[in-house]
A and B are shown apart, each in its own frame.
Chain A
Amino acid sequence: MLRFLAVVAAALALAGPAAACAQPRTSLAYLEGQVMCPTCHTTLDQSDSPAAQRIEAFISQKIDACWTTQRIESALVANYGQGILAAPSHKGFDLLAWWLPIVGVLAGAVVLAFGVWRWSRRREPEEPDDPAGSGLDEETERRLDDLLARFD
């Protein structure tokens, strides 16, 4: 019986840390970069204000309680509003913040490509409209040939 209890105790001791959280714990360091300090308008990792310290303590407490990143962020949003998150949400008007930079980069690439294309075209030697002809009428051409023939 004693041996059985010892085995159970050892198993519990070994399984304890693994069973503490059903999923990998998030970290304070990660969330400090995702959450804003409401009074100083920087992320928590750049702030040492009392409000930031309190939020850090709250996050640590929730990490210890195995809360996920999403759950912690939701709790903070419920208290402080959406502005507590450093990154805008992926829905509604906030989507603009994600898409506008991409649209800007693409538009810039198009403008750049167009500019390069025009620049390279301008540098090509312009070909005459009628490469075969000289642009002179027949009479003038005949007289020019006669003149040139004298120098032969």
Chain B
Amino acid sequence: MTRRVKTTAQLLALACVAGLLALLVWQLGHQQHAPGVGAMAPAFTLHRLEGAGRISLASYRGKPIVLNFWASWCEPCKGEAAVLERDWTSYRDRGVVFLGVDYHDLASDARRFVSVHELTFPMLEDGSGKVTGDYGISQVPETYVLNRQGRVVLHLAGPITDPGFAVKFRSALAKAAA
């Protein structure tokens, strides 16, 4: 009897350790990283910030996409908003799609931001941060440029108005639209 209890206790302890190890391995395997250049952009479907309905990334397959992650409380986002709007109006006729993804924000603040900066490209809300997590976003603003196949051609972790980033962004945009 005692021997059986002892064996059961040992097996239980082993099972607990194995469970914790499995959890650790799972956690390590599911750590979110930014998709690198050449990788497929993670798929998503998000609610529109303004108006009803949802938008999925897959619905724009075949078109180059500029994916901009921003938040109303982010100071640099204010600075790049006008540049993004200008580029959107320049490139929309060439089939380039601009999508804004509002990150960890109050929807009312985000709508005010869009209105104040007169942004006209589609805006999506990711309040819970699930999609931004998939894209490895650690700060805003961050911008991805995707080619027609949905692969990442550029990732900028910072405002596109930064001198170094502006050149890269224009070049990637022109290449993607070609």
Query: Interface of A with B (CB < 8 Å)?
Result: 38-39, 50-51, 53-55, 58, 78-83, 111, 118
Contact = CB atoms under 8 A, between A and B. Distances in A.
Interface string B91-116: 00000000000001111010000000
**Residue in B9, B71, B127 whose Cβ sees the most chain A Cβ within 10 Å:** B127
Given A38-B129, A51-B105, A79-B107, 17 more contacts: A38-B104, A50-B73, A50-B75, A51-B71, A51-B73, A54-B73, A54-B105, A54-B106, A54-B109, A58-B106, A80-B104, A80-B127, A81-B127, A81-B130, A82-B128, A111-B9, A118-B2
Mostly, the B contact residues are loop
24 contacts: A38-B129, A39-B104, A50-B73, A50-B75, A51-B71, A51-B104, A51-B105, A53-B73, A54-B72, A54-B73, A54-B109, A55-B106, A78-B127, A79-B105, A79-B106, A79-B127, A80-B128, A80-B129, A81-B127, A81-B130, A83-B128, A83-B129, A111-B9, A118-B2
A99 to B, nearest CB: 17
Interface SS, A side:
helix
A77 B150 CA distance: 32
Contacts of B72: 54
